[in-house]
Structure formats: structure tokens, C-alpha cells
Amino acid sequence: MNTEKISDKKKEKILIIEDEQDIAELEKDYLELADFEVEIENDGKSGLAKALESEADLIILDLMLPGVDGFEICKRVREEKNTPIIMVSAKKDDIDKIRGLGLGADDYMTKPFSPSELVARVKAHLARYERLLGSVPHENSIIEIRGVRIDKTARRVSVNGTEKPFTTKEFDLLTFLAEHPNRVYSKDELFREIWDMDSIGDIATVTVHIKKIREKIEVNTAKPQYIETIWGVGYRFKV
């Protein structure tokens, strides 16, 4: 049965690996009320398989499970993924043991716990994880072409190791051209791409900015090696 609802925001998925059906259902009810999508696996083996294959955003993992236990599942998941894991156990001693093992779980809860506390912790870990992902520079955040290095995350440009000051529009224009190398853009196209439609200025603004960028990145502005002028057409970033 397909119970998926159409909604603007994609629901975050929580995987519960728990052999006590009542507890699993209670957790599920509370998480669904908080607008999460929830899946339950009742034994260790299927739980591990699901944890490895699914796109769960967070895993709630019981420690004592038939088949494969929570220790092993946590360890195996960590070898492949950074998905946040909240481990739960009926025994306080076990929680201490898990901590000691440093398996990489993000949080630990001792049963019985209040379902609303669980929901609060789930939300906190998802928010933390998203911040963490957001702060990791994407692979394509650095463009490096023959000594010119553009760091899109830090919005910095250096030329042969020396940092050059760039204004916002100069940076945007250089980055745009460098991201579309060897393609010729007219001044009109560049103006529309980089400046807001209602901003003051015209295509002469583009010329002025190209000149300023060249002064910062070119050895000889009369013979540009990076941004070429294609007469009668526009500019291109040569690679």
C-alpha cells in the first residue's frame, strides 16, 4: 500500500530497529506525529540490511536484537555511512559499555524513555547533521585554472598563491566565466546573469568589471591569458 503523501517538503526518514513491537510502534506513532516518515525492522539481520541499503536520515537502534546485535549494526553502518544513530538499551550498564567502545553512535538513551524526549533528540541530531553537511565544502567549490584559484565557499581569489581583493560583482563575474570555460558570452548576457534586472548600469558596467578583473589576474592586461575579448561578440574564459 502506498501511503506516501504529496507534500512540498520531503519528509525525513527514520529507521527504527527494535525487536519489541510495542516500543517500536510507540516510537513510530510519535515520530509520525512530528511529521517524519518511519520504517521499522524487528530483527538485527533485516535491520542491518535495511540500514545499509536505505536512505534513512537517522537510525534509532536497539542494542539487544535477535540475529545481529546493535553493537555490530552500529559498527557496520559506521564503516559506510555517517547517518546519525541513536542507540537505545534497557540497561544503563550497556549504555556505558557502548560509549566505551566508541562505535560512533551519536546518542544513547536508556529505556524506558518518554517518546517526546526521543522526538526532541531526533530533531536535534538531524539539525546538527544538516549543519555539518552544510559546512563541508562541496567538491566543486574550488576552481583552479593555471594559477588562478577561486574558492567559491570563502569567496576568495588568489593568483599564483597571492590573494587578490575582489568586489562582489567582480567575484561573481569571474566565477561565472570560469565555470563556463571556452564559451563566449555577450556583454548583454553577462549583465543579465550577474546584475539584477533593476540594478543601475548597463553593459558598459561589464566592460569596466572585466578590466578590473584583468588587472588582478592577468600578467599583461594587453594580452589577456584568461579572459579573452572576442571582438564584436563578447568575452570568454580560456582554458
Given the complex with Ca ion, which of 19 and 151 has the nearer CB atom?
Answer: 19
**64 contacts Ca ion (rule: CB under 5 A):** yes
Give the shortest CB-133-to-Ca ion separation in angstroms.
31
Q: How far is the CB of 72 from Ca ion (least distance, A)?
A: 14
Q: Which of 12, 27, 41, 62 binds Ca ion (CB under 5 A)?
A: 62
Instruction: Compute the distance between CA of residue 175 and CA of residue 155 in angstroms, rounded to an integer.
Output: 9
Euclidean distance between CA atoms 69 and 207, whole angstroms? 66
> What H or E segment, with its residue span, contains residue 1?
none
User: Please, what sign has the CA dihedral across residues 22, 23, 24, 25?
Assistant: positive
- Least Å from the CB of residue 64 to Ca ion: 4
- Choices 55-63, 100-108, 134-142, 197-205 (CB under 5 A): range interacting with Ca ion: 55-63
Shortest gap between Cβ of 63 and Ca ion (angstroms)?
7
Residues 12-31 binding Ca ion (CB under 5 A) are: 19
Measured from the CB atom, the residue of 62 and 94 that comes closer to Ca ion is: 62
Question: CB of residue 102 vs Ca ion: minimum separation in angstroms?
Answer: 22
CA distances from 87 to 18, 155, 163, 198, 226 (A): 10, 40, 47, 54, 54
Scanning 4-12, 33-41, 57-65, 192-200 for contacts with Ca ion by CB under 5 A, the matching segment is 57-65
Q: Which residues of 27-51 are buried (b: 16+ CB within 10 A; e: fewer)?
A: bbebbeebebbbebbbebeebbebb
Nearest residue to Ca ion by CB is 64
Q: Which residues of 173-184 are buried (b: 16+ CB within 10 A; e: fewer)?
A: bbbebbeeeeee
Cβ atoms 106, 60 nearer than 8 A? no
- Residue closer to Ca ion by CB (options 26, 159) is 26
Contacts with Ca ion, residue ranges (CB under 5 A): 19, 62, 64
